[in-house]
Chain A
Amino acid sequence: GESVGLHLPTLSVQEGDNSIINCAYSNSASDYFIWYKQESGKGPQFIIDIRSNMDKRQGQRVTVLLNKTVKHLSLQIAATQPGDSAVYFCAENALGDKVIFGPGTSLSVIP
C-alpha cells in the first residue's frame, strides 16, 4: 500500500553543523512532497515543498532534494540551531487533496 517511511528515527547534531533528514516513499504516483516540523504540543508546521518536476528546492537555511529514481527525499538544514530541535515529517500527495505523512524523525540539537 501507500507508505512514506524514514531511515533515521532519531538524529542528534551539534549546533552549527548541517543536518540531513532522509525519507523514503513507495507510491510512485506521488508527485508533490512536503516537509513539516512539529514542536512539542503543537501542530505540524509547513517548512518547504517540492514538486516532482524538480529535484532540488531551496528555502531559508533549508534545502529539499528529491530523487524519483529511488523514491527518496531529504531535508538539509544548514547551520542547525537549538530552535530546530523538533520532529520532522515528510509527506506526500498524489492526485487529490489527501496528504500522507511518514512516521517522523526526531532532531535534537546539542548546544
Chain B
Amino acid sequence: GAGVSQSPRYKVAKRGQDVALRCDPISGHVSLFWYQQALGQGPEFLTYFQNEAQLDKSGLPSDRFFAERPEGSVSTLKIQRTQQEDSAVYLCASSLGGPRGYGYTFGSGTRLTVV
C-alpha cells in the first residue's frame, strides 16, 4: 500500500481484556517496528522484526505483551490482561532496511484506552 496502515484506529478495552493491534507495513519493507507513545511523551521502542524474525524485543514492558509477524508482512501486537498503564498510542513503522538513509515510515497508530 501507499503507507503503513494500522487498525483499529481506536480501541477501548476493559481492564483484564485481551487486545490485538494490527499493522500492515508498506509492501516490500523488510523491517517492522512497534513503539508505545504515552500522552505527551516520545515514542518508546517495543520490538523489531526483520522479515518474520523478531530480532529485538527488549522494549516489551512485560510478558503480557507479545508480537508476531508470521509471514514477514502483517504484524500483530497482542496485549493480554490489559492494565490501565497500557493506555497509550501504539505506533507501527516499517523500513526497507534499517533506519539509516531510509528513516522509518510510521502509521497513524492505534490509541488504546483501558478503562
Using a CB–CB cutoff of 8 Å, the interface residues on chain A facing chain B are 4, 32, 34, 41-46, 49, 51, 89, 91, 93, 96-104
Contacts and interface: CB of A to CB of B under 8 A. Distances in A.
Contacts, number: 64
B56 A103 contact: no
Interface of B: 4, 31, 33, 35, 40-45, 48, 50, 55-56, 58, 91, 93, 95, 98-101, 103-109
A88 B104 CA distance: 15
B99 A32 contact: yes
B91 A44 contact: yes
A96 B56 contact: yes
Contact of B99 (A41, A89, A93, A103): A93
Given A96-B56, A97-B56, A104-B42, A43 B91 contact: yes
8 contacts: A4-B42, A44-B91, A44-B106, A96-B98, A97-B95, A97-B99, A99-B45, A104-B41
